[in-house]
Structure 1
Amino acid sequence: MPHGDTTGPFTKTEGWLDWYDGPSAPAFTLPEGAVDAHCHVFGPGAQFPYAPERKYTPCDASAEQLFALRDHLGFERNIIVQATCHGADNSALVDALNRSEGRARGVATVRRDVTDEQLKALHEAGVRGVRFNFVKRLVDRIPTDSLDEIVAKIAPLGWHVVIYFEAADLPELYDFFSSIPTDVVVDHMGRPDVTKDPNGPEFGLFLRFLRENPNVWTKVSCPERLSVTGPRALPEEIPNGEHIMYSDVVPFARRVVEEFPDRVLWGTDWPHPNLKDHMPDDGLLVDYIPQIATTAERQRKLLVDNPRRLYWND
């Protein structure tokens, strides 16, 4: 699997960590029909230029490289999420969907002036949702009235809204998120601070958000992005010598999977944009799954039934 150096008139952000091109073969066997429900494509920049307003410039990560990883890990399908480095130009996403032979669906980024014809074309390509990003270091904040207009346009298509935010911003955004009438999918459990108590008030607000809004789903993905301790467990955290990866994230994700088994999704987040301290082995990320979905039934819901219901139910 060749690596993805940026091509064309773009220079990677200084200090950018490229994705790991030698992933291990997972020890955990994925259930038949498993879906990687959160991943991206970047460029290639020479073919699909990065957006002028982007906050970062990544290495290239093509559709062919994504699908090679899919097959290596044992997934059958992908959900490809529009990356912020491409802004509202969904060309790279649509190209990947067209190359997938029906084995991928997409989540796009659109602006308030998007037309019904443009939405129809995205739908025919396989797009089934739009993403609203509220992470201030990645995007400029968009007024919520603009987002309301977008929701009104996508609702007739049966699409859902994906929201990406950080835990500290949930109190401010709680009412707006709760008002969204479509299905809503939260990226990465709303990025909890895993140094805090999973039974404490901050994560408790997120759990309340899920309980009060039965249309809200969440991805229990990205332990590599949330962890403070990293992929290696501390010796005192290893029962019977068994290795626990990203052990500080496990209590948060396991709690969500156990309480909301029909509204959880999981994805690799390949090619792992904007990581600062390490680049994960995607094979080991797959081996993390049974730590948070501890029974075959929960694993099948997380990896097969839930993403199929949300993305292929038409």
Structure 2
Amino acid sequence: MLTPTIPGPDPNTRTPRFKLPPLACDAHCHIFGPHAKYPYAPDRPYTPPDAGLDDFRALHARLGVGRAVIVNASVHGTDNRVALDAIAVSNGAYRAVANIDDGISERDLRALHDGGFRGCRFNFVRHLGGVPDKRVFERVVAMIAPLGWHLDLHFDAIDLPVYAEMLAKLPVRYTIDHMGRVKAADGLDQLPFRTLIDLMQRDEKCWVKVCGSERVSSAGPPFTDSVPFARRIVETAPDRVIWGTDWPHPNVKAMPNDGDLVDLIPLFAPEAELQQKILVSNPAKLFEFDRQE
């Protein structure tokens, strides 16, 4: 038995008041284990309770989610089997983002692509290991470019201004996780958020995830102080914004109820047209849900 070092998600998911549209996509979520079948990496930065496929499906059934993108978390290292296996039994409803390094072969990369992966993730966040090796980062970017994959990038807000020029020069599309992890208490005019908005305005490769309200919020549940940030992001580039729950919410200060997170959507995107974009058409485009192989 492994002893978890972080709590699991709220087990009593509330049915949201807001009804998600058909084929709404949770474009940032995780599956953890079960570790007996999908072992956690020995050098993992934390140990979560198992949050497997059955719980994952039950969550989305309660919320009304029709599609999902599984972001393979650092707890599984570069072993992407948990997401690969989930996609295989999803009847086309799942895609995934991989954790890889430059040790992966082109054959293995193609196998992930054929299995439904459409991007790979790099963590720049300090508590998850900090800055990736520049050589590895550049080599992986060169490897994924021919497949049309994007980079999924996780930053501490304070570091966004440092990496802005590097991001703008990337040869592939990239998504920035959790609204850049900006702090709501620092206001809309803070430098990290201005940097994020500037990237969205001048770089058509830049996509942003309006997820992680519980990480952005300074006030705590129900995290409504994150809404002005999400609203500004949606207004800035409505064709390059996607939404996710971040279930099962590893390493958060206040555990959210996922029903509450869904009910934030009409606050930052009250227009039906915008809801359709960020929940359905944008993720379908980025992750090729509707493409016939």
TM-score class, shorter = over 0.9
Quote how far apart the aligned CAs of 1:149 are. Answer: 0.5
Gaps of 5+ in 2: none
Q: Verify the 8 A CA contact 1:261 1:301 in the aligned structure 2.
A: yes
CA distance in 2, matches of 1:218, 1:172: 17
Q: Verify the 8 A CA contact 2:161 2:191 in the aligned structure 1.
A: no
For normalisation by structure 2, the TM-score amounts to 0.96
Calculate the aligned-residue CA RMSD, in Å: 1.2
Q: Verify the 8 A CA contact 1:84 1:139 in the aligned structure 2.
A: no
Quote how far apart the aligned CAs of 1:301 are. Answer: 0.5
Structure (1 or 2) with the larger CA radius of gyration: 1
What is the number of equivalent residue pairs in this alignment? 290
Which of 212, 225, 242 aligns to 1:222? It is 212
Which of 290, 298, 306 aligns to 2:266? It is 290
**1:43 corresponding residue in structure 2:** 33
Quote how far apart the aligned CAs of 1:197 are. Answer: 2.0
Gaps of 5+ in 1: 1-8, 232-244
* 1:261 matches 2:238: yes
Structure 1 residues 232-268: Cα deviation after superposition (integer angstroms, max 9, x where no partner): xxxxxxxxxxxxx422211111011112111100001
Which of 3, 7, 27 aligns to 1:11? It is 3
**1:29 corresponding residue in structure 2:** 19
Identical aligned residues as a percent: 44
Which of 235, 247, 250 aligns to 2:224? It is 247
CA distance in 1, matches of 2:185, 2:111: 44
Q: Verify the 8 A CA contact 2:188 2:194 in the aligned structure 1.
A: yes
Aligned residue identity for 2:243: W
Which of 291, 297, 303 aligns to 2:279? It is 303
**1:73 corresponding residue in structure 2:** 63
Q: Verify the 8 A CA contact 2:30 2:70 in the aligned structure 1.
A: yes
Quote how far apart the aligned CAs of 1:140 are. Answer: 4.3
Which of 61, 82, 86 aligns to 2:76? It is 86
**1:239 corresponding residue in structure 2:** none
Quote how far apart the aligned CAs of 1:72 are. Answer: 1.4
Which of 129, 136, 160 aligns to 1:170? It is 160
**1:76-225 aligned within 5 A:** 76-225=66-215
For normalisation by structure 1, the TM-score amounts to 0.90
